[in-house]
Amino acid sequence: MSAAKVSLLAFELSWWIVGPVAVLAGVVGAFAGARVGWMEGVREEALEPGEVVLSAYPVRPLFEDGRATGPSDSARFELRVTTLGLQLWEGTGRLWSHPWRAVRLTAEGDFVLVHHGDREIAELLVDTFDGSPDELLLGAERLRARAQHTHP
């Protein structure tokens, strides 16, 4: 068998491998995109009239159901900052939502502590671009101050 025939045979066999892999990757990508779009749609429908999402952060609670969470758990949880308040979501389920005038955020190291009144309701590790929760804390402080002045 000549080198040209071997090369042609290898080229033809590679398409038997590449073709199905490409189709499978396309199906997986379409499924993942549809799932993310569906989750986003559910979250958008839960907004109050006139409420706008300003930012959303992947977060990881320190503990969930009495057990410590791991780094992969931040893909499941999202903290949404809206014009009216703060929301914590797990997938398509909203775990809680609090208006700005009732919630306060503080930092303890890399973690953000969420307070409602005088009790702590969440300890979250926020996945920000620079690894610091400063952006979230600054935005929350401004939104809370605005809510205190505009709502009795």
Mean pLDDT confidence for 83-89: 92
Most confident of 7-11, 26-30, 34-38, 81-85: 81-85
Q: How many residues does the chain have?
A: 152
Apex 129 CA angle, 76 and 112, nearest 5: 65
Decide: 106 and 115 in contact? Cβ < 8 Å: yes
Decide: 140 and 105 in contact? Cβ < 8 Å: yes
Mean pLDDT confidence for 99-111: 87
- Whether the pLDDT of residue 32 is over 80: the answer is no
- Whether the pLDDT of residue 1 is over 90: the answer is no
Q: Is 0.85 topped by the overall pTM?
A: no
pLDDT of residue 17: 66
Cβ neighbours of residue 141 closer than 8 Å, sequence gap 6 or more:
105
pLDDT of residue 10: 58
